[in-house]
Amino acid sequence: MNFGVAGGLNKNTKLCAVYQIAAAVQFDFDLVQLNGTKIGTLDEYKENYLALNHLKAPLDKRKLGTADRFNDSPDDYALLTKELSADIRDMEGAAIVQAAYAAELPVYSVKAISDVAGSGSTTEQYLANKDKALKNLQTMLPAIFEEL
């Protein structure tokens, strides 16, 4: 299980709202030239997005892009939104999914939106909104844990 805050990438994500992750991709993982696959496709997979298990909890589902960096890069934003059609970005989600796949374990992820790309400094937004986003996530946890 992966819970935490993450950045929104489009109008489908609202600041401080909580979403269930339906699928995740490691957008800084690039074997395109070696394997002829889409960006983010791990060596042992055919598709770049890895599907997660789904909760029945009343949470809208979104797609997650993961990388080992947190920035306001226009290049990263274009890759995430135009090429990968991701809704949310973080720094760990897809790697956790990959590890769960390798261990043959179910994997769930729920993210609260701390910042929205393209609407000012994501670092400043994160610092200003993380507590409210985490409080909203905390509100959802009893329903999630009851289901599990």
CATH number of the domain where residue 56 is located: 3.40.50.1580
Write out the DSSP string of 49-90: SEE-----SS--EEEEEE-S-----HHHHHIIIIIS--SEEE
One-letter amino acid at 26 equals: Q
Q: What is the CA radius of gyration of the chain?
A: 15
The token pair that represents 4 in the structure block: 């935490």
The token pair that represents 67 in the structure block: 């990388």
The DSSP secondary-structure symbol of 38 reads: P
| Banded pLDDT at 28 (limits 50, 70, 90) | confident
CA angle, 97 then 15 then 64, to 5° = 20
Q: Give the domain range for residue 18.
A: 2-147
- How many structural domains is the chain composed of? 1
Q: For residues 123-136, b (16+ Cβ closer than 10 Å) or e, as one string? A: eebbeebbeebbeb
| Banded pLDDT at 109 (limits 50, 70, 90) | very high
Which residues are registered as beta bridge partners of 3?
A: 110
Tell me what pLDDT residue 120 has.
67
Burial class from Cβ neighbours inside 10 Å (0-12, 13-18, 19+) for residue 112 reads: buried
pLDDT in tens, 37-66: 898 888 888 899 999 999 998 899 999 999
First CA to last CA across the chain, in angstroms?
Answer: 10
CA distance 70 to 92: 11
CA distance 29 to 16: 28
The pTM score is: 0.90
| Between 54 and 31, residue with greater pLDDT | 54
The pLDDT of residue 118 is above 90: no
CA distance 35 to 23: 21
pLDDT in tens, 75-84: 888 999 999 9
